[in-house]
Amino acid sequence: MDRIRIVGGRPLNGNLRISGAKNATLQLMIASLLTDETLILDHVPRLADVALLQRILGNHGVDIMVGGKRPGETADDGQTLHISAARIVDTTAPYELVSKMRASFWVLAPLVARMGEARVSMPGGCAIGIRPVDLLIMAIERLGAKVEIEGGYVVARAPHGLKGGEIVFPKVTVGGTHTAIMAAALADGTTVIDNAAREPEIKDVADCLNKMGARITGAGTKRIVIEGVAKLHGARHAVLPDRIETGTYAMAVAMAGGEILLQNARPELLQAALDVLTRAGATVTATNEGIRVARNGSGLAPVDVTTAPFPEFPTDLQAQLMALKTRASGTSHITETIFENRFMHVQELARLGARIQLEGERATIEGVPQLKGAPVMATDLRASVSLVIAALAAEGETIVNRVYHLDRGFERLEEKLGRCGAAIERLSG
Ligand code: EPZ
């Protein structure tokens, strides 16, 4: 199993290009199931999760062609996928595949919308919490699907197609909102979604669906209205930049010091996180090319943050912020309101010398003057990268084990940070 070796203490300087967003890419690939024509996606990041979803969609009969390089294109531009679900041969998503990647559960809505039936394994728990799917099921039931749980599978049937309806989410859910939109796109009549998630990835997927002929308005707000259409067609869409990757590298610079231009990054996708970084002592400037983040000389100030759905501070940056706060001059608090078990990084940060106390959903982080390198490992993607951030400022060598978590969501992380001056390398095997 690969590991990453980091020797801390080097500032980060230069340009770092932000990839396409993982959490939009996965949904966009799944949206291809809604049409028998080809969907072309540009700026798709090269990630383990994307490769795995390719295999999972392949099991349903979807053909995916990865476009070759075009003149002037670099690896930083991501890849182009030509996705064709001309003929869906299997409406079952088996346990063996869904258990490898939770997001594959989301094939449920497009399969039932287009094929009138879907049989998808329950995803089960994961490292960051229980993560139920009751609201995703509620959404398709509201549109007329009959849903049963049979032998660990969610079996949804709508032999005469779905019908538009009203969906009110009691709690903001990203997966639930995507599910509702995809189901409603091909439903007969109008669907109104209330208390919808406003995450930028929702808007990106809705934009793509509209290019495919869907009639969706209000994506990015709490109320989304969808006029169902009988058929969707092919389209071409470029994935929006990854706001979590952006925030992660912004925090890495704030931690290590230096100045980096995050090319392709868009401030409006993570304003709450950029505001926190400014309060913490970094200088953040929006430019035509992206976002410039610097910390030269000044120390890190403590800040209190509570995670919440977009546009508030994202749970997917909570671990990274915690790493940064371990070196603030004072005490910070972080309250995690989205996932009940998303503090698995705490004990690993402690191995580097961090002082963190947990009480339910609240972490108290007492800044220390110096972290010290150590072997560490993490159990999920964002937790793993928080250890990388801590290691960049730790004295001596840190070995981050279980790098496959990082490969799920960060494209060529060691190369990107290495080019900016970090002493970082991948150790194979
Ligand atoms: C998406 O997960 C993201 N995953 C997560 O990214 C992200 O942390 C999360 O949204 C919140 O922003 C992808 O896009 C692939 P939710 P999702 O439904 O859709 C509860 C990463 O690191 N809930 O918005 O699964 C749930 O338990 C990750 O890239 C129900 O109660 O999250 C949670 O408390 C991991 N019933 C809250 O809602 C349901 O049916 C929000 O979850 C569904 C969710």
| pLDDT exceeds 60 at position 308 | yes
What pLDDT, on the 0 to 100 scale, is given for residue 193? 98
Q: Would you place residue 126 in the very low, low, confident or very high pLDDT band (cuts 50, 70, 90)? A: low
Of 190, 173, 172, 108, the C-alpha closest to 141 is 108
The atom of ligand 1 lying closest to the CA of 136 is: 40
Q: What is the largest CA-CA distance in the chain?
A: 65
What pLDDT, on the 0 to 100 scale, is given for residue 71? 73
What structural domains and CATH numbers belong to the chain? 3-19+241-427 (3.65.10.10), 22-230 (3.65.10.10)
The atom of ligand 1 lying closest to the CA of 174 is: 24
- Mean per-residue pLDDT of the chain: 95
Q: Which amino acid is at 78?
A: G
Q: What is the tens place of the pLDDT at every residue in 266-290?
A: 999 999 999 999 999 999 999 999 9
Q: Is 136 in the pocket of ligand 1 (CB under 6 A)?
A: yes
Q: What is the tens place of the pLDDT at every residue in 342-392?
A: 999 999 999 999 999 999 999 999 999 999 999 999 888 999 999 999 999
Q: What is the tens place of the pLDDT at every residue in 158-214?
A: 999 999 999 999 999 999 999 999 999 999 999 999 999 999 999 999 999 999 999
- Segment 30-46 mean pLDDT: 97
Instruction: Say if CB 388 and CB 361 are below 8 A apart.
Output: no
What pLDDT, on the 0 to 100 scale, is given for residue 302? 97
| pLDDT exceeds 70 at position 130 | no
Residues pairing with 6 in the sheet = 398, 424
Q: Which residues carry out catalysis?
A: 126
The atom of ligand 1 lying closest to the CA of 310 is: 12
What pLDDT, on the 0 to 100 scale, is given for residue 77? 80
- Segment 398-402 mean pLDDT: 94
Q: Is 132 in the pocket of ligand 1 (CB under 6 A)?
A: yes
| pLDDT exceeds 70 at position 305 | yes
Residues 6+ apart with CB under 8 A from 121: 93, 94, 95, 97, 98, 99, 105, 152, 153, 154
CA distance readout (Å), 429 to 2, 3, 317, 414, 415:
5, 8, 29, 16, 18
Q: What is the tens place of the pLDDT at every residue in 327-342?
A: 999 999 999 999 988 9
User: What's the 174 CA to ligand 1 centre distance in angstroms?
Assistant: 6
